[in-house]
């Protein structure tokens, strides 16, 4: 496993905070939660660069008073469902290696929701870790797995968390195709659903799904009455392309802010 060194990825340096249709002026209103969602390049097997990218976006988030910052699915190690990649890069979240990741994230002021490949008791999970000031607050493990994710075991719970009085839960990417995943979060009184995703797809598939992500996520928002904030990757790899989207959808199912497709950046919105 590669050590999480001090590297950074130059492609994250152009991360911007010019969200379309989002509230970014001044501090969030009392009782509001300011959320940032990051559309990043795909980084595979380079934990130091991934952490450097997180740090770069966190600096941007500081400028806008962001409380909660969301990153894509399996972002720390990179989403590659390959036996060697998973074996070499998965973290036991109780290990010294993951403790060193947490130490590096400790100076970040925002609560982070970031995708990791987790190993526990001989099983692997597609996990979203919730981290505050370098402390692991909790995890969500993806419950609905696509056929190509047979190396992962499914999660079976939908934990919720609270930040600035706003309760939120997590679905990961494919979870949003299933109403029960969002409903299980909403049933616990959550007001916000965070969706780390990774849609680096074969080009023909990516083109077909380009508009479907918002359609499905809008359904989940309307069904549950929750806000939905997603984070995704962008860029190209061999025969694959990642358009995004990284966006904010209100409880009426309306896309109120989005990072432009095929660009890296951060969208910011206040959740009342």
**pLDDT 10s digits, 23-55:** 444 455 656 999 999 999 999 999 999 999 999
Q: How far apart are CA 211 and CA 72, in angstroms?
A: 18
Domains of the chain, start order? 32-271 (3.60.110.10)
Q: What distance, in Å, lies between the first and last C-alpha atoms of the chain?
A: 41
Q: How far apart are CA 74 and CA 29, in angstroms?
A: 32
168: which 2 tokens? 């939120």
Q: Which whole number is the average pLDDT over 133-158?
A: 97
Query: Which strands sit side by side in the sheet containing 166-170, from one edge to the other?
Result: 160-163, 166-170, 192-196, 227-231, 247-249, 255-258
Q: What is the pLDDT of residue 35?
A: 98
Buried/exposed 217-253: b ≥16 CB within 10 Å, e otherwise: bbbbbbebebbbbbbbbbbeeeeebbbbbbbbbbeeb
Would you say residue 1 has pLDDT above 80? no
Q: How far apart are CA 254 and CA 266, in angstroms?
A: 18
Average pLDDT, the chain: 91
**pLDDT 10s digits, 190-235:** 999 999 999 999 999 999 999 999 999 999 999 999 999 999 999 9
Q: What is the pLDDT of residue 154?
A: 98
**pLDDT 10s digits, 152-199:** 999 999 999 999 999 999 999 999 999 999 999 999 999 999 999 999
Q: How far apart are CA 264 and CA 272, in angstroms?
A: 26
Q: What is the pLDDT of residue 31?
A: 65
Compute, in degrees rounded to 10, the torsion defined by CA atoms 117, 147, 212, 246. 10
Q: What is the pLDDT of residue 58?
A: 98
Q: What is the pLDDT of residue 10?
A: 38
Q: Is the bond into 245 cis (omega within 30 degrees of 0)?
A: yes
Residue 149 DSSP symbol: G
**pLDDT 10s digits, 79-118:** 999 999 999 999 999 999 999 999 999 999 999 999 999 9
């Amino acid at each position: 496993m590669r050590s999480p060194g001090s590297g950074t990825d130059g492609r994250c340096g152009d991360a911007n905070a010019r969200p379309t249709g989002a509230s970014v002026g001044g501090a969030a209103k009392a009782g509001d939660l300011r959320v940032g969602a990051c559309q990043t390049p795909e980084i595979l097997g380079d934990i130091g660069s991934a952490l450097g990218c997180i740090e770069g976006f966190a600096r941007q988030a500081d400028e806008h008073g962001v409380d909660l910052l969301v990153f894509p699915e399996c972002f720390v190690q990179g989403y590659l469902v390959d036996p060697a990649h998973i074996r070499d890069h998965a973290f036991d979240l109780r290990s010294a290696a993951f403790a060193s990741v947490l130490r590096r994230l400790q100076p970040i002021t925002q609560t982070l929701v970031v995708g990791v490949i987790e190993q526990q008791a001989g099983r692997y999970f597609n996990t979203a870790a919730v981290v505050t000031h370098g402390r692991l607050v909790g995890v969500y493990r993806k419950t609905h797995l696509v056929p190509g994710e047979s190396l992962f075991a499914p999660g079976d719970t939908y934990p919720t968390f609270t930040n600035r009085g706003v309760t939120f839960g997590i679905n990961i990417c494919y979870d949003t195709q299933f109403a029960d995943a969002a409903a299980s979060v909403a049933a616990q009184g959550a007001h916000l659903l965070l969706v780390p995703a990774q849609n680096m797809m074969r080009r023909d598939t990516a083109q077909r799904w380009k508009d479907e992500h918002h359609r499905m996520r809008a359904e989940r928002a309307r069904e549950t009455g929750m806000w939905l904030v997603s984070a995704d990757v962008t860029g190209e790899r061999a025969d694959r392309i990642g358009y995004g989207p990284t966006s904010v959808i209100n409880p009426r199912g309306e896309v109120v802010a989005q990072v432009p497709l095929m660009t890296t950046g951060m969208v910011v919105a206040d959740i009342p």
